[in-house]
Amino acid sequence: MLRQIAGALACLSRQRTVPHPVYPDKVQNAYNRLVLHCLRRDEQPPGSVPEMVRWACERPLRAWPMDLPAEARAVGDLLVDPETRLPHQLCLEWEVDAADPAAELFENQRILEALAECRAARNPRAYTAFRSLLTTRPVLTGAELALLGGDPECGMLLQHVIKRCYEPVPASYRRADGTYRQCGRCRCLMVPLPDGGHRCELDRCRRDGMTDTGSTLRADQGGLHQLSRPLRMFVTSPGLAETDLQTALRRRFGITAEMWPHYDAYDLRIPLPDGRFWAVDVKDRVNPVQLARTLTPFRTDPPYDRAFLVVPRYRFRDNEAYGRQFQRHLPDALTGRVTLLDDRVFLRLVGDELAARPGTHHDGTEGDRHA
């Protein structure tokens, strides 16, 4: 039922116009099921769909009158941001219970199309450039989007895919003076708040207080376009953690990691001086139980010697039991095959590995503050 409610909340957030008096079946069915469940438990149900949304804005998951599965008990946050009225990442993760949430949404068709096109053209560099585009440029003007068609790195091959990844920016992101504010860290658009401030949608920025920085954009030059929200949450956000890690490896150790090797077999392939390779997948997920239960083995081509799942440090700060909950629910078939670490611990491990081998480069600096 929780997954159904999360899907209804996400569905409501994607409506671009004033809701029709008759709600979509997905929304009405979730509401009806919640009401029936409350009545059976002799609990007061929400009186309407808007009240169900208020529950999501005001009640942590643990306060809902439901028998929650272990995945939900692990994280007790709100499903919807009470100020922006947009679903939190936690809600979108519940909407799709999969190792890669974006992979189960229609947006994944764009990723699959890009992979197919690049494989057919035998051009892995184009796919890497495509992933880099989705990570570093979540917002484009109409003119920039059109000009990508002539980009030799990926636009000429994937222009039709790229255009479907971006959508016109809705009016809810526009400020009173007609401008938009872009987050200084992730470059996504920030949501105006009733008190005049702004808030970034991504957990990684909100957790560090990056809520009122960035630059002002105007909707000229063909208007503004942004990646669809699931792509921003599940491609841009972890993609930034991936590139932060790549930057830290280069700055601190002189290591050049290969990004998304062999058409995204995993996220980073890290060469060590003795000829070994470490494979890394970066996951920026709220819920460690869902992450563990839906994890699949790393692809073995290109080959590697050790596999790591790296999660941004702030997830462990938010949930001190993150690692224990992950290990407790990891399938037996994966036990011992992948190691979960936060990004800072992983970088220390790389440093220790290099220090144990004389003659390797290690400058001892902290590097990027997000890694």
Which pLDDT belongs to residue 63? 87
Question: By the 8 A CB rule, do 230 and 105 touch?
Answer: yes
Please give the pLDDT value at position 194. Answer: 81
Helix H segments across the chain?
Answer: 2-13, 25-40, 49-58, 70-73, 89-95, 108-120, 124-136, 142-147, 155-165, 203-206, 229-231, 237-253, 261-264, 288-294, 313-318, 322-329, 343-355
**pLDDT surpassing 70 at residue 141:** yes
pLDDT digits 0-9 by tens, 144-188: 999 998 888 898 899 999 999 999 998 889 888 888 999 988 999
73 band by pLDDT with thresholds 50, 70 and 90: low
The pLDDT, as a whole number, for residue 17 is 62
| Domains of the chain, start order | 2-95 (no CATH), 99-169 (no CATH), 174-218 (no CATH), 232-355 (3.40.1560)
Residue 366 confidence (pLDDT): 39
- Residue 364: is its pLDDT beyond 50? no
What are the tens digits of pLDDT across the range 308-326? 999 999 999 988 899 999 9
**Nearby residues of 264 by Cβ (< 8 Å), 6 or more positions away:** 115, 127, 131
What average pLDDT does the chain have? 86
**Could you give the angle at the alpha carbon of 106 between the alpha carbons of 102 and 110, nearest 5°?**
80
> Which residues are CB-contacts of 5 (< 8 A; sequence separation ≥ 6)?
30, 34, 52, 56, 79
pTM > 0.75: yes
- For the segment 185-241, what is each residue's pLDDT rounded down to a tens digit? 899 999 888 877 888 888 888 776 555 567 888 877 678 999 988 889 889 999 999
- The larger pLDDT score, comparing residue 107 to residue 180, is at 180
Tell which wins on pLDDT, 262 or 195.
262
